[in-house]
């Protein structure tokens, strides 16, 4: 083998080795940075009240990086309406007070859902009219209390199955499909100034579900109900859904005349629930690319339909995903030590 050929092989293999290496992990600091100030639309985060305490390490991140807050759980029925004639306001009020003190808006989540219901509600006995009255009291009491303080509500959450049929939940079984219409009616009557949203998951991954949700919301809107937007939850992964599916879902929702809220964004790096999973720099870069795509594509939508993007949690150590799916995962912008990850860096350097 001649000398020139050996040199050529060395150069070729060196190039292949270098090109196969993952991109270096991007590092950045959050000092003097504010994520929401990099965008023309609100950038929010889902929180629990304890995270807003001045001694909690999440608090500076909440205060400096986001301009909208969503309560992960504290507006849900089991927390806020534990007994039929008892409402528990303390925890929800803490979020409202923190938001007002720090000039942040609040998105209300959620008025009607089939999960996280108190026992009394699950065991409620009554005819259709009595169910309607019970639901009206629940919605009216909450939305009236926070009138003008909660700027928008997820009125109905996750009403459709993956095939586009209505979920046979406790509300549907006792009130029929009209429970959705009634919920929006009661919410609007309680606070006419609030924006009202329908919220659901897998709207990008399941076209039949997306079509069914849009068709019903358009029908109700045509009847005069004030349905302002769609919440596309976006619990996605680095490998699904495709960028095309994400972009198409965003376009179809806004083309239908609804504001779009990317309402529960996180990006799983272990979406296949592998028991041998190991986090590495390549996965972090793929996660960063996925976050960046969502923000970039959302930025291209018509401004009138950009309600904002909400990240579903602050740091990996407190994400809902590992506990819910019983797997290792790191889906958020900050790691368990509250340090910014490449995904955060990609968004502020976008």
Residue 25: what pLDDT? 55
**Which of 258, 291, 316 shows the shortest CA–CA distance to 39?**
291
Q: Establish if 8 belongs to a structural domain.
A: no
Q: Establish if 83 belongs to a structural domain.
A: yes
Mean pLDDT of the chain: 93
Domain coverage including residue 101: 28-348
Q: Establish if 318 belongs to a structural domain.
A: yes
Note if 130 is an active site residue: no
Q: Which has more pLDDT, 350 or 291?
A: 291
Look at the chain and report how many structural domains it folds into: 1
- The rounded distance, in Å, linking the Cα atoms of 319 and 268 is 10
CATH number at residue 225: 3.20.20.80
Q: Establish if 1 belongs to a structural domain.
A: no
Calculate mean pLDDT across residues 157-172: 98
Q: Establish if 6 belongs to a structural domain.
A: no
For 96-141, what is each residue's pLDDT tens digit? 999 999 999 999 999 999 999 999 999 999 999 999 999 999 999 9
Residue 16: what pLDDT? 39
Calculate mean pLDDT across residues 328-337: 97
Residue 30: what pLDDT? 82
With a cut of 70, say whether residue 304 has pLDDT above it: yes
Q: Establish if 250 belongs to a structural domain.
A: yes
The pTM score is 0.92
Confidence label for 275 from pLDDT (cuts 50, 70 and 90):
confident
**Which of 296, 292, 276 shows the shortest CA–CA distance to 284?**
292
- The rounded distance, in Å, linking the Cα atoms of 166 and 14 is 57
Longest dimension (CA), the chain: 92
Residue 20: what pLDDT? 41
Kindly state the tokens that stand for 199: 């919220």
Calculate mean pLDDT across residues 213-219: 98
Q: Establish if 12 belongs to a structural domain.
A: no
Which ranges of 303-348 does DSSP label H, i.e. alpha helix? 321-325, 342-348
Q: CA 112 from chain center: how many Å?
A: 16
Q: Which of 133, 181, 264, 318 is catalytic?
A: 264
Residue 5: what pLDDT? 43
């Amino acid at each position: 083998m001649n000398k020139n050929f050996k040199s050529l092989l060395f150069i070729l293999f060196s190039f292949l080795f270098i090109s196969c290496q993952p991109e270096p992990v991007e590092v950045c600091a959050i000092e003097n940075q504010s994520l929401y100030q990099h965008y023309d639309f609100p950038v929010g985060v889902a929180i629990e009240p304890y995270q807003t305490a001045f001694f909690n390490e999440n608090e500076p991140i909440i205060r400096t990086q986001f301009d909208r807050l969503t309560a992960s759980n504290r507006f849900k029925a089991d927390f806020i309406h534990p007994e039929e004639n008892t409402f528990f306001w303390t925890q929800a009020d803490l979020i409202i007070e923190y938001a007002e003190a720090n000039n942040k808006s609040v998105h209300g989540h959620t008025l009607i859902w089939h999960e996280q219901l108190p026992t009394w509600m699950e065991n409620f006995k009554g005819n259709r009219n009595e169910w309607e009255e019970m639901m009206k009291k629940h919605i009216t009491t909450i939305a009236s209390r926070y009138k003008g303080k909660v700027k928008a509500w997820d009125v109905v959450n996750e009403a459709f199955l993956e095939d586009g049929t209505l979920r046979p939940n406790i509300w549907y079984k006792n009130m029929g499909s009209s429970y959705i219409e009634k919920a929006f009616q009661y919410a609007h009557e309680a606070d006419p100034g609030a924006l009202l949203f329908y919220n659901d998951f897998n709207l990008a991954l399941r076209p039949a579900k997306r079509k069914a949700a849009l068709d019903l919301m358009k029908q109700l809107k045509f009847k005069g109900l004030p349905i302002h937007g769609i919440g596309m939850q976006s619990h996605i992964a680095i490998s699904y859904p495709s960028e095309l599916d994400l972009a198409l879902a965003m376009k179809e929702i806004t083309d239908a005349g609804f504001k779009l809220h990317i309402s529960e964004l996180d990006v799983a790096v272990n979406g296949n629930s592998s028991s041998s999973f190991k986090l590495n720099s390549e996965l972090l870069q793929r996660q960063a690319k996925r976050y960046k795509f969502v923000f970039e594509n959302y930025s291209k939508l018509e401004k009138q339909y950009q309600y904002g993007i909400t990240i579903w949690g602050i740091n990996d150590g407190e994400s809902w995903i590992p506990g819910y799916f019983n797997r290792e995962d790191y889906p958020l912008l900050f790691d368990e030590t509250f340090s910014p990850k490449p995904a955060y860096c990609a968004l502020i350097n976008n």
